Amino acid sequence: MSTSTLYRLQPQALTPRQLQEELNATAEIALLDVREHGLYTRGHLLLAANAPLWRLNLLIGDLVPRLSTRIVLTDEDGSLLEQAASRLINLGYRNLALLSGGTQAWRQAGLEIFIDENVPSKALGEVVEIQAHTPNITVEELRQRQANGEKLVIVDGRTPEEFDNFSLPGAHNVPNGELPYRIRELAPDPETLVVVNCAGRTRSIIGAQTLIDAGLPNRVAALTNGTMAWLLADQPLNKGRRTRLPQPGAQHLSAAREQAHQLTQQAGLTILDASALAALRVNPARTLYQFDTRTHDEYQAGHLPGFRWAPGGQLVQATDHFAAVRGARIVLADWDGVRARHTAVWLQRLGGFEVYLYQPAPDAELEQGPSTPRILQDAALTPAPEITPQQLQPLLERQAAQVIDVDNSLHFIRRHIAGARFIAPHRLLEWLPRLAAADAPQQWVLTSKDGVLARLIASALQSYAFNAAALSGGNQAWFAAGLPTVGGDEDILTGEEDRQRNGYSVSDPVRRNRLFRNYLEWEIGLVRQLGRPGGELRFNLPQQEEQQQSTVNAYPR
């Protein structure tokens, strides 16, 4: 590499005010916070997407697919930024900048800091509720109507996995992206009240407003504060439930399509033809995300090449998990004239992206199978050796190996390999020497959900002279082999640094309820934060939304 090339790759140092100017400009930019997720959620810049340093290879290819995209890195105090920049340069990225002093410097400059995750999407929900007067219903009101035998249906707008963890008694799981497509089958009688709930606030509000936008003749309400309020009212939740998604009938589908068509026209969304999509794909100066918002089963059965799976409700709820480049283009595959259109409208309201629709041709060439991450390989690293579960088991019995889980501490609590310890990746260089000093020298075997993250991190550890291997197939392979597992948090060495503090993971009801109340107070207060320096966010909400709400779906509070 020439000296001039090296000079161009040197990351630029930015002050908080310089970064603020870049964020307020119209050019594409990805602001990445490289701390572990739990640390990130304790305080970050509003528009920062989370891409932890030791997980960059796994995440960055999907978050920032164009190598020449402007990327600004931040962390807590600037201490991780040069290492993160070096890794990105090795992966091919060449337009990097660093926020000098990290989040601390931003705070010291008098600019707003935000806790939690998916903040822009959650802020959108709060603003929508205020501006559209989205109806809501309290737990007490809902229970009274149930006791009175009134016609109502409860739909939970979260993912099937979240619904399986806990749900309201009698609720139907219809993720938000599926609601306008399927709700008429669950509530065909216009006299039936439809209540939308989630774990907190955002998806209840967005789900309810989606049904209002969809022209549903029923009364619609969001359950105030979701299942948090249900637990605060000392009501029980169900666990381990799955409900079947109803298939829309011809008449209901026609009504849903007509309303979605009108909504798309009102929003001014562009529907691309094949040549226009092809032009976007070959433009080297712009970032393009292509998403398929249907169910996972539909996606696996057949999807367009190059389109990633992103269920519509989650794409709105957690946009920064899928697309980190502000100003990028997003194209949604519109298979049925309903689901992608509602998702596109919400993404346009969220702002920060150019949003388009694309209708696949009936004879379009399709691929089958799951959506897989675009993993970038660092050519400077030596691939780590892998070990099968059957090879690892006798090593553990002889205490000749130590398993280190590096994936998710909450999953570790639920179930992990017997004898494993959990270390958040950013603390491995600190903890491995400490463990080696306390125990006899041994083989380190890293594991993760499917082994992919473990393999990438084990490879990185080779450069630090650690004898690290990866468990082939990860925890999934170990569990499938029926080998010994346990649960619990006794062997977590890094606390909650890798994950968000969450009242739902707390067993003590007093502490849980305190965390719930703190969270709800914070979320409701997001609108005030948006009015402070460093909290600027521009939504694109329709002016007519309030009038539509008050005349079509008014619901007594």
Smallest CA-to-CA distance from 345 within 443, 270, 413 is with 270
Rounded to the nearest 10°, the torsion over CA 28, 31, 32, 33 is: -170
pLDDT value at residue 356: 98
Whether 71 shows a pLDDT value over 70: the answer reads: yes
**Could you give phi then psi for residue 288, rounded to 5 degrees?**
-125, 125
Tell whether 154 is covered by a domain.
yes
pLDDT value at residue 358: 98
pLDDT value at residue 447: 98
Same domain, 408 and 475: yes
pLDDT value at residue 555: 32
Same domain, 260 and 243: no
Tell whether 535 is covered by a domain.
no
Same domain, 234 and 131: yes
Q: How far apart are CA 107 and CA 533, in angstroms?
A: 10
Q: Which of 486, 515, 545 is the last residue of a domain?
A: 486
Whether 557 shows a pLDDT value over 80: the answer reads: no
Backbone dihedral region of 98: left (phi > 0), alpha (psi from -120 to 50 degrees) or beta? beta
pLDDT in tens, 518-547: 999 999 999 999 999 999 999 999 874 443
Confidence of residue 441 (pLDDT cuts 50, 70, 90): low
Same domain, 246 and 150: yes
Domain region containing 435: 386-486
pLDDT above 90: percentage of residues in the chain: 92
Q: Which residues contact 224 (CB under 8 A, 6 or more apart)?
A: 136, 137, 138, 139, 204
**Rounded mean pLDDT of 445-457?**
98
Can you tell me which residue has the tokens 């606030």? 201
Pairing of strands 468-471, 12-14: unpaired
pLDDT value at residue 440: 66
pLDDT in tens, 391-401: 999 999 999 99
pLDDT value at residue 543: 74
Using CB atoms within 10 A of its CB, is residue 416 exposed (0-12), middle (13-18) or buried (19+)?
buried
Tell whether 503 is covered by a domain.
no
Whether 550 shows a pLDDT value over 70: the answer reads: no
Q: Which of 55, 87, 117 is the last residue of a domain?
A: 117
The amino acid at residue 83 is Q
Higher-pLDDT residue of 169, 438: 169
Same domain, 397 and 442: yes
pLDDT above 70: percentage of residues in the chain: 96
Same domain, 175 and 269: no
Global confidence as pTM: 0.94
Tell whether 325 is covered by a domain.
yes
**Residue 447's beta-bridge partner residues?**
405
Q: How far apart are CA 137 and CA 193, in angstroms?
A: 11
CATH number of the domain within which 150 lies? 3.40.250.10
Using CB atoms within 10 A of its CB, is residue 531 exposed (0-12), middle (13-18) or buried (19+)?
exposed
Same domain, 60 and 31: yes
Tell whether 469 is covered by a domain.
yes
Whole-number average pLDDT of the chain:
94
Residue 400, token pair as written in the block: 């000749």
Confidence of residue 439 (pLDDT cuts 50, 70, 90): confident
pLDDT value at residue 121: 98
Tell whether 497 is covered by a domain.
no
Q: How far apart are CA 403 and CA 422, in angstroms?
A: 9
Q: Which of 447, 471, 486 is the last residue of a domain?
A: 486
Smallest CA-to-CA distance from 308 within 326, 288, 327, 325 is with 288
Same domain, 244 and 268: no
pLDDT in tens, 248-291: 999 999 999 999 999 999 999 999 999 999 999 999 999 999 99
pLDDT in tens, 169-228: 999 999 999 999 999 999 999 999 999 999 999 999 999 999 999 999 999 999 999 999
Tell whether 104 is covered by a domain.
yes
Same domain, 113 and 126: no
pLDDT value at residue 373: 94
Q: Are 156 and 171 spatial neighbours (Cβ–Cβ below 8 Å)?
A: yes
Confidence of residue 442 (pLDDT cuts 50, 70, 90): confident
End-to-end CA distance of the chain: 67
Same domain, 311 and 339: yes
Count of the separate structural domains present in the chain: 4
Tell whether 184 is covered by a domain.
yes
Same domain, 283 and 227: no
Same domain, 333 and 393: no
Smallest CA-to-CA distance from 119 within 52, 175, 45, 55 is with 45
Whether 372 shows a pLDDT value over 70: the answer reads: yes
pLDDT value at residue 1: 45
Can you tell me which residue has the tokens 């480049």? 325
CA 344, 347, 349, 352 dihedral sign is negative
